[in-house]
């Protein structure tokens, strides 16, 4: 059964599933890149008129629509795509490859602290709103992040970034002076 939740972004909707959607963590896919995507479910969903991007997580999928599209039309279409997939498949939409391994290439202690705060304190809160935040870089006291899913283009994302993310990182990591979105 698929449930939906509103997000702070009126152009994004969160679709929750009892089944695992992604084994590889959060991944974002944009319609402008659909020709480079091999996953048929993702490609087909991005081809739906009005779907701008999708963010897949372990138990939810966030869809961001174009401003012209209507949720009255899109919502049942997305639910139908998800239900159809899980009726025909007994595996997650994004599967972890057996040989896939994550290597921690970060040796910088400050970067490790920043990523730990993002992963443990910030990402879960952002995920509740159907989005994700990815660490991109840290240089001269400035943390650069990428907002994904419903956070991408959300009217309140700048406030969240400055009042939430920046305050937390500055509190826990002395070297952080500000946070910027790419």
Query: Which CATH number applies to 2-88?
Result: 3.30.1370.70
Task: Name the band, by pLDDT with cuts 50, 70 and 90, for residue 106.
Answer: very low
Asked if the model's pLDDT at residue 169 lies above 80, the reply is yes
Statement: the pTM of the whole predicted model exceeds 0.75: no
Task: Give start-end residues of each CATH 3.30.1370.70 domain in the chain.
Answer: 2-88
Architecture of domain 109-181 in this structure: 2-Layer Sandwich (3.30)
Residue range 92-107: mean pLDDT, rounded: 60
Spatial CA neighbour of 15 closest among 160, 150, 154: 150
| CB atoms near residue 125 (< 10 Å) | 14
Per-residue model confidence as pLDDT tens digits over 1-21:
899 999 999 999 999 999 999
Task: Quote the DSSP letter at residue 33.
Answer: G
Instruction: Report the relative pairing of strands 142-149 and 178-181 from DSSP bridges.
Output: parallel
Residues whose CB is less than 8 angstroms from the CB of residue 146 and which lie 6 or more positions away in sequence, other chains included: 133, 134, 136, 181, 182
Question: How many Å apart are CA 69 and CA 53, to the nearest integer?
Answer: 13
Task: Quote the DSSP letter at residue 8.
Answer: S
Asked if the model's pLDDT at residue 104 lies above 50, the reply is no
Coil, helix or strand at residue 172: helix
């Amino acid at each position: 059964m698929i449930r939906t939740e509103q997000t702070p972004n009126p152009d994004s909707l969160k679709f929750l599933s009892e089944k695992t959607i992604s084994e590889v963590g959060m991944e974002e896919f944009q319609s402008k890149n659909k020709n480079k995507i091999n996953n048929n479910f993702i490609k087909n969903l991005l081809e739906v008129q009005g779907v701008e991007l999708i963010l897949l997580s372990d138990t939810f999928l966030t869809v961001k629509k174009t401003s012209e599209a209507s949720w009255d039309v899109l919502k049942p279409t997305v639910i139908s795509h998800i239900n159809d997939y899980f009726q025909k498949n007994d595996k997650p939409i994004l599967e972890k490859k057996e040989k896939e391994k994550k290597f921690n290439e970060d040796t910088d202690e400050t970067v490790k602290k920043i990523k730990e705060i993002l992963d443990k304190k910030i990402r879960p809160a952002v995920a509740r709103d159907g989005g994700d935040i990815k660490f991109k870089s840290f240089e001269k006291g400035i943390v650069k992040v990428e907002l994904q899913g419903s956070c991408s283009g959300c009217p309140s994302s700048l406030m969240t970034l400055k009042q939430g993310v920046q305050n937390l990182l500055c509190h826990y990591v002395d070297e952080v002076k500000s946070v910027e979105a790419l």
